[in-house]
Amino acid sequence: MIAQAPNILQAGTISPADPLIFGFWKVPKSVCATVCYQAIKSGYRRLDCACDYGNEKEVGEGIAKAIQDGLCTREDLFVTSKLWNTYHKHVAAACQRSLDDLQLSYLDEYLIHFPISMEYVPFDKKYPPEWLNLEGKMVLVPNDMCATWKAMEELVDQGMAKTIGVCNFSTQLLRQIFSTCKIRPSTLQIELHPHNSQEKLVRFAHENGMNVTAFSTLASSSYVELDMATADDSLMTNSVIVDIAKAKNKTPAQVLIRWALQRNTFPLTKTTKDERMKENRNVLDFKLTLDEMSKINALNKNHRYNDPGVFCEGMGTFFSGFVVFFYLELQKKLS
């Protein structure tokens, strides 16, 4: 029988005990090493990285300095990286590149970034490869996601990763992995916030013993400058969130992070400002009532801000039904 995912707010159920995650998406390379160091100094022990973020070398520099200065040991940290779409047939090489850039001998967690397989781009030609190949085109290639997962399992066997998991996977895709895997995914990382609560997917993951990481915890905040959201989408000014924040003597961001924690998900946030790091961590000294949780839950409108089914169409590729059916439909189209 598969055990339920642990309650992350219950003492002694997770390691590191702190459930808060610091992310490096969109952190500029010029300040990334310093930001990483400051995040660790502020108390973060869970660090979320990815090849695609283009700053793993700088994160590695920050980690090395923090360890050298005695802020933490390697064993204190839980470092995550991710397999990019172009490397589904080059899993070990991709993981090793991340390890080299991060100056680590192992990852605590390695995740498949998207259930999307794209044309291989050689490491020495373009790194990170991003969404386009050397000709500036997005080229999808047929791939069995279970074969990718088998290669991920080999990373654990080789000691390159302690745990493995997935990002942006649907229930159907998880069931497919479960049907053939030797090592079950330990984590599902998905976009989660009150505008996109994904209650059934979170429940399914928890019932199958998976931890759930919530990225874009503050919803639209990171997407306005990318033209993937507007100022009107902001939850920071939503009256429900603002009223609860005032009642708790907290900020709207703290309320959103606390909402994520009380759903038994690991909230992932990022900032380049020391004061925001401290603010985002000051969420363990209050609780939202059931009524307050219900009011926030009612804001759901099943809206993703980070959706390849939308932004990739502008690059000449249409991901029909990405969230639920993408992989199955892709295999049909390419078979």
Active site residue ranges: 53
In whole angstroms, what is the distance from residue 184 CA to residue 163 CA?
A: 9
DSSP string of 162-188, one letter each residue: EEEEEES--HHHHHHHHHH-SS---EE
Check: CB of residue 114 under 8 Å from CB of residue 85.
yes
In whole angstroms, what is the distance from residue 36 CA to residue 282 CA?
A: 18
Going by the DSSP 8-state scheme, the letter that residue 134 receives in this structure is T
In whole angstroms, what is the distance from residue 1 CA to residue 166 CA?
A: 22
Cα 108 vs. chain centroid, distance in angstroms? 14
Say how many Å lie between the first and final Cα of the chain, rounded.
36
Per-residue tokens: 171: 């229930």
User: Parallel, antiparallel, or unpaired for β 21-23 and 78-83?
Assistant: unpaired
User: Cα torsion at 49, 55, 58, 63 (round to 10°)?
Assistant: 0
The answer to whether the Cα torsion of 75, 190, 187, 127 is positive or negative is negative
Cβ neighbours for 315, distance < 8 A, ≥ 6 positions apart: 131, 132, 138
Per-residue tokens: 318: 């249409």
